[in-house]
Amino acid sequence: MKIMKRTSFILLAIIASIVTKAQVNDVNPVPFVDTKKLYHSWTPNVMVGKQTFPENTPQIKGCSFAVWPDHVGNGITEKDVHHRVFPAMQTLAQKMWGGSDTAMSYDVFVEHSKAIGEGPGLNMLGKIKGRDSLVLNYKKVLQFKGGKTFVPTPLKGIGYGYTVAFSIKPDKNNADNAILFSSPDAVVKLKQQTTGKLGFSRENYDYNFKYEVPAGQWTHIVITGDNKGTSLYVNGTLVEKLEGNRNVFANGKSIAKVQTLFFPLQFIGDKNNAFKGYLKDTKVFNRVLSKDKITLLAKEELKKGKPPIKPK
């Protein structure tokens, strides 16, 4: 390939051979770019295939890359794509600045990169920090009357991994799609569509657990989430883990189905379709608690007995 010797000529190297495609497939339903390989083996002067230019070629001004999350039905959301791409973006930034200079070891680079945010005012990863892992503790007993009934929280949502715990006493005859937690990113529903079961919806994907919250009594609920899936615990016992499922098409072919949840916390309840009933002791942790700790948490809540009902 002949390069024109003009200062106005800009050449963008397209990353292809070194970067693993960030898409859901049969082998690995939660793929990430191999950033260690990227750090040690790629520089902006490496083009598609085996074409390589001198690292200081003046016509090479930078590089670009693309993400193709184009498998309809795989459950991947914008949050999932960002979660997978961000570490690669950090590595590319380092490589486009330093080129083949790897005097800093990859492990040291990774540790330093953890301290670098996404940009001023941005938190698309939903990282929430606190004095300890408990980042929200809302002890009040709240009454929800359906429709526009909601309580705002300081958090818009929390990203992977997390634990959200609460106790709930729904009224009888709640409507389909009655909402417990909501934000622009997702909603958690007492009744997912016509199933009558606890579930969640985000970006036109609707999922439900194999569990129906009983009306007229207190139940302790824990939902945990990471970049692989979402789990439900009831009164300290694991009910279901939405992970590793597949979406089967009419022609018999199938692809992995990601059932993750960037947990919505902007509102307890909803501005349009809140559930009817009571909810108390909402706790949010910025890590996935162990099964033993979830069981202990449930025992502590259930030990309190039935709390007095305090109208909002």
Q: What class has domain 134-303?
A: mainly beta
- Pairwise CA distance, residues 181 & 80, whole Å: 20
Residues 202-256: tens digit of each pLDDT: 999 999 999 999 999 999 999 999 999 999 999 999 999 999 888 888 898 888 8
Reported as a pLDDT band with limits 50, 70 and 90, residue 305 is low
Structure tokens at 138: 């809302």
Contacts of 253 (CB under 8 A, 6+ apart): none
Q: Reduced to 3 states, what is the DSSP secondary structure of residue 254?
A: strand
Q: Reduced to 3 states, what is the DSSP secondary structure of residue 98?
A: helix
Quick one: pLDDT at residue 14? 43
Q: Can you give the pTM of this predicted structure?
A: 0.85
Q: Reduced to 3 states, what is the DSSP secondary structure of residue 5?
A: coil
- Pairwise CA distance, residues 160 & 74, whole Å: 18
Domain ranges of the chain: 11-113, 134-303
CA angle 128, 130, 110 (to 5 degrees): 60
> Nearest Cα to 86, choosing from 101, 61, 65?
65
Contacts of 235 (CB under 8 A, 6+ apart): 219, 220, 298, 302
Q: Are strands 11-14 and 60-64 parallel, antiparallel or unpaired?
A: parallel
- Pairwise CA distance, residues 98 & 106, whole Å: 13
- Pairwise CA distance, residues 81 & 172, whole Å: 39
Burial class (CB in 10 A: 0-12, 13-18, 19+), 62: exposed
> Quick check: 68 pLDDT over 90?
no
Structure tokens at 266: 């902007």
Query: What is the average pLDDT score of the chain?
Result: 85
Reported as a pLDDT band with limits 50, 70 and 90, residue 17 is very low
H helices present in the chain, as ranges: 35-41, 78-98, 106-113, 291-303
% of residues, the chain, pLDDT over 90: 55
Average pLDDT of the segment spanning 130-144: 93
- Pairwise CA distance, residues 162 & 286, whole Å: 5
- The Cα-based distances of 45 to 18, 34, 40 in angstroms read 12, 19, 14
Average pLDDT of the segment spanning 257-278: 96
| Per-position b or e across 236-249, b if 16+ CB within 10 A of its CB | beeebbbbebebee
- The Cα-based distances of 14 to 47, 67, 69 in angstroms read 6, 12, 18
Reported as a pLDDT band with limits 50, 70 and 90, residue 180 is very high
Quick one: pLDDT at residue 192? 97
- Pairwise CA distance, residues 119 & 298, whole Å: 38
DSSP state of 275: E
* Higher per-residue confidence, 22 vs 43: 43
Structure tokens at 2: 């002949």
